[in-house]
Amino acid sequence: MKSDSALERISTEDAPDTGQVGPVGDDAEEFEEWTTIVDSKRPWFDFNLGELWRFRDLILLFVRRDFRITYVQTVLGPLWLVLAPFLTTVVFTIIFGKVVQVPTDGIPSFVFYMSGTVCWSYFSSSVSQTSTVLIKNYRLFQRVHFPRLVMPVSLVMSNLIKFAIQFSFFLVFLVYFVIQGSGVAPNMAMLALPLLVLHMAVLSLGCGLIVAGTATRYRDLIQLTAFGLQLWMYATPVVYPVSQIPERFRFFFALNPMTAVVETFRYAFLGKSSVSSQDIVTSAVVTVILLLAGLIMFTRMEKTFLDTA
């Protein structure tokens, strides 16, 4: 090792022949603060959301890319998208509606199940895609630097396109049942749909981020997530109404943030539900907590997962 003095030299001394070295005096005001500091320690609350905003174009481009690749360049892509919830709904209608005969608050079982399925499939596919985001894009992250949060956010947004298609499909059936006059009563609460969608998006982002960071170290979390999502569906009033739950268990149901989402959705489009404003507030609070937890865990891992994954 050479003596330290070699290291202490100041750059300008070593570049005598170029004239490329920036002037010292005049430009001094231009340089006030460091714009970026890469440090070994980062505060846990430093999510760098400003950076995320700067890369908003990238988020949209990723969404566009996903859209192009899944829907434009495949033949069956969009068709499959409507077929999947349709078939699921048919199965639910037969099994839970006809065989088990779960009461559906007097709503035709087909739209009842379809409303639940459409909401749930958005949530579940957002979570499962977000949870593998770091592992699947490892190669890219290793080579290109952009805020890692861009990826999960764009995934959640890509799924919104899918949701929009499935939701329109649901509307077609809804209109049919309204015309049939089968006790379905869409109402002004429909206007809250954007809020509901935002709620689901934030919730799925939060849950996905919690898994994503940790899954870089523990791959079994991926399987666990897939399985957990299945169980979670049965803990959410997708195939049954909350009104079937005994009063003393209702509180625990309200803690599941998806309960209020699905029930509010049903209230708005089908006209019947037993969701209370208190449930909605509880759900919102839990969602915010989950999002924060997700952000914390994700930002903790994003700087080091390249070394450990």
Partner 1 sequence: MNTSCRAKGALVNMSVVIRVEDVCKVYRLGVVGYGTLRQDLQSWWARTRGGEDPNAPLDAPPKHADSDANILHALSNICFDVSKGESLGIIGRNGAGKSTLLQIIAGMTIPTSGRVKIRGKVASLLSVGAGFHPDLTGRENIYLKAATLGMSRAEVSKKYEEIVEFSEIGRFIDTPMKRYSKGMNTRLGFAVAAHLEPEVLLVDEVLTGGDHKFRLKVIERLKALSAQGCTVLFVSHKLGALRQLCSRAIRLDQGRMVEDGATDTVINNYFAALALPGSDLSEDGDPEDFRGAAGNGDDAYERNKRTITAGKAASAETTDDVRKPGEPETNGPARILGGFASDGQGNKKTTFSYAEDITFTAVIEVQRRDLGLASVLAVVDENDNRVLASYDNDLADSQLAAAEPGIYNYRVTLGSRLLKPGLYQVNFAIRDGNSKILQKRKALCAFELVDNETRRGLQGNYDKGAIVAPELHWELDHRS
Enumerate binding residues for partner 1 (CB under 8 A). 1-2, 4, 6-12, 14-18, 20-24, 27-28, 31, 33-40, 42, 54-55, 57-58, 61-62, 64-65, 68-69, 73, 139-146, 217-221, 303-304, 306-308
Tokens of 101: 């005969």
Q: How far is the CB of 255 from partner 1 (least distance, A)?
A: 24
Q: Which residue has the tokens 């999960």?
A: 152
Of residues 66 and 263, the one with the C-beta less far from partner 1: 66
Say if CB 250 and CB 242 are below 8 A apart. Answer: yes
Instruction: Judge whether 275 and 260 are in contact, CB under 8 Å.
Output: yes
The residue (of 138 and 176) whose beta carbon lies closer to partner 1 is 138
What is the DSSP secondary structure assignment for residue 137, as one 8-state letter?
Answer: T
Q: Between residues 8 and 247, which has the closer beta carbon with respect to partner 1?
A: 8
Q: Which is nearer to partner 1, 52 or 160 (CB)?
A: 52
Which C-beta is closer to partner 1: that of 29 or that of 247?
29
Among all chains, which residue has been given the structure tokens 């839970």? 96
Q: How far is the CB of 9 from partner 1 (least distance, A)?
A: 6
As given in the structure block, the two tokens for residue 307 are 């070394």
Q: How far is the CB of 43 from partner 1 (least distance, A)?
A: 13
Q: In whole angstroms, how close is the CB of 1 to partner 1 at the nearest point?
A: 6
CA separation for the pair 121, 159 (Å, rounded):
10
d(CA 247, CA 98): 26
Could you tell me the smallest distance in angstroms from the CB atom of residue 291 to partner 1? 23
> What is the separation of C-alpha 260 from the centre of its chain, rounded to a whole number of angstroms?
17
Can you tell me whether residue 304 is helix, strand or coil?
coil
- Contacts for 190 with CB less than 8 Å, ≥ 6 apart: 268, 269
CB of 262 to partner 1, least distance (A): 30
How far apart CA 215 and CA 223 sit, in angstroms, is 10
Is 217:250 a contact under the CB 8 Å cutoff? no
Residue closer to partner 1 (CB basis): 156 or 203: 156
